[in-house]
A and B are shown apart, each in its own frame.
Chain A
């Protein structure tokens, strides 16, 4: 791990540990935004880390930012850090000044739903035609609800229109829907790693019939299945992240195929991982007293966010069918779809 990344993660872990106290989650469930924790994250430069140094950021690479996103997910951070981080970076890349404060983000892939509608300053919007823009949150009419993680969300009936002067073009390697899909995959990987860790800890410590649950073969087999899905999601996210960084530094291509595969795989795995984790935790996992729910409920929200597995599987399927039988293997190894149009 690079020194930059290690430093970033040390800071991140310290901030996320503080933000994962019981009181914070209780407030979130009641719809209160953890303002002081957000400010601490902002003050430590995490929301602007992707921006180049001349634009006031830290100029870290996408992989560094995603390591922070994955770590945040491992603490079930109930804040729109990733949306804000990517939103600010995209706006800056399109030559726009990003509004201050937390941001929401909607793209061509996901639903028209954003966490914290009453606390974000603006919504970053990218439609099917590419490009990016923003609209002040106060100008939007949200239908209010909560997601399965218990965070407040606002739903829009139709894609918002962007006021003049608040939108700009983006280079193809900065496709917003691809980038957020990759980021969400990294977050799903981070939450799964926590869930696996909690599950191992539980089955090692919980004694029934005179021995730890971990000694039962039926339990071992389930944990192994869960670990294999967790590993597959992790390596899929890492591979897509590396592809994004490669595309960014080579100024071309893009990571469309890999982003689609990574989110399809990550969302799909949420069912098996949450099912097994709850099965092995037994009744205590089915309560708000144990920490497990913070992570499994987020997986249920995140598998749908930024395009669910059905959406991304369909995209992958289209790329595969377009490439044809003879082009399928080159697509898998070179990850260059036959045509990039949406």
Chain B
């Protein structure tokens, strides 16, 4: 018998020495802005949108941190950005206003955009002044993203868009939407003929936004219809036909981040506050179960972040972290519910958050790559398919 093959590599990583100062900086900013009434922990975390808080974070240099200074960035490392992101999540700060631009759209513009696009969009993103929505899914294209049908056809000076995007968070409030569309008809090559376009949601005719109320009862989702909506040439992002490669190249960043296991951290925090030294051994075990899993997940996620920093593309590892992380998040309210019942917890804060989180939980394992798809990616990484 030979030594076993190691199929997945998660090298343990160390965060940079600047982490302590960054944490202190974020905590201080959050404390000050909370005291000033700018925001309150409404339980939505990165799903909650608060332009004033995003502006304050932008001023402090916490948006677009890794981007070049000439575009408003701070030229920090990806791991430093990771530290700031996890601090915001741990505090349950509402960051949706800048979240998508900071996480994926800004990096895409930086990587694939023209000089003019970089100058136009990146600085106001880093100042927390403009907000982006993401237009990927369509009514008939969920996990099978390559089957999208929204098409952009050549027009004088630009493109005409027809079709619709769905689950587009905050399209009713955001200034822009970056959408994946077909610029060539479908062919045998499934991933060919798609492009990314930047759509000005506030100034384009032919765009209708229909609200979709989600399971917790909030208006976050929308369906966005395009009827001959015009997109000028200078709003095509990257090369025509490269859209698929562009959107998939950012997936590792999108999937392995701390939002995949810290979305309902405030529930665990509230539970810990409601318990004390006299709590039952069973309650302590349940808390320890959740905390130990969370600690291990964070170690895996930091490891992926370090691999990204080193220029690797750990797509399989990040799919794995998202799968584990979102399944963990989904179990949190179920386990808390047991402790609440056993210990007779009557703390209003715990019960309110538990209610809210229970309603939100089904979404964790669907958004940003459904569990079944992620496991397929892991299986492919293990050479099973």
A interface, CB within 8 angstroms of B: 13, 17, 20, 71, 74-75, 193-194, 196-198, 200, 203-204, 214-215, 217, 219-221, 223-225, 227-236, 238-239, 241-242, 257-258, 260-262, 264-265, 268, 291, 309-310, 312-326, 328-329, 331-333
A200 engages B269 (CB within 8 Å): no
Residues of B close to A225: CB separation below 8 A: 323, 375
Residues of A close to B189: CB separation below 8 A: none
A321 engages B279 (CB within 8 Å): yes
Closest B residue by C-beta to A225: B375
Within 8 A of A (CB), among B254-290: 265, 268-270, 272-273, 275-277, 279, 281, 283-289
Interface centre among A194, A225, A316, A331 (most CB of B within 10 A): A316
Q: What CA separation (Å) do A236 and B294 show in the bound complex?
A: 10
A-B contact pairs, 13 of them (CB 8 A): A13-B3, A17-B1, A20-B1, A220-B376, A224-B320, A224-B374, A231-B317, A258-B295, A261-B295, A268-B289, A313-B287, A318-B284, A321-B287
Within 8 A of A (CB), among B353-385: 372, 374-376, 378-379, 382-385
Closest B residue by C-beta to A258: B295
Q: What CA separation (Å) do A97 and B369 show in the bound complex?
A: 57
Residues of A close to B90: CB separation below 8 A: 329
Main SS at interface, chain A: helix
B269 engages A228 (CB within 8 Å): no
Partner of A239, one of B1, B8, B299: B299
Within 8 A of A (CB), among B312-355: 317, 320, 323-324
Distance to closest chain A CB from B312 (angstroms): 15
B300, CB-defined interface residue at 8 Å = yes
Partner of B285, one of A20, A196, A317, A332: A317
Q: What CA separation (Å) do A313 and B299 show in the bound complex?
A: 17
Partner of B12, one of A71, A221, A242, A331: A242
Distance to closest chain A CB from B306 (angstroms): 11
What's the tally of chain B residues with a CB closer than 8 Å to chain A?
A: 59
B287 engages A316 (CB within 8 Å): yes
Additional 16 contacts, C-beta under 8 A, given A224-B323, A309-B289: A74-B4, A197-B5, A217-B376, A220-B385, A231-B10, A232-B324, A235-B299, A239-B296, A257-B295, A261-B295, A310-B285, A314-B284, A323-B272, A328-B269, A329-B91, A331-B291
B5 engages A223 (CB within 8 Å): no
A interface footprint on B1-44 (CB within 8 Å = 1, 0 otherwise): 11111111011101000000001000000000000000000000
Q: What CA separation (Å) do A225 and B323 show in the bound complex?
A: 9
B7 engages A197 (CB within 8 Å): yes
Residues of A close to B269: CB separation below 8 A: 325-326, 328-329
Given contacts A71-B3, A236-B299, A238-B12, contact A265 B293 (CB under 8 A): yes
Partner of A236, one of B277, B295, B323: B295
Partner of B384, one of A13, A74, A204, A314: A204
Closest A residue by C-beta to B304: A235
Given contacts A242-B12, A321-B279, A332-B291, contact A313 B285 (CB under 8 A): yes
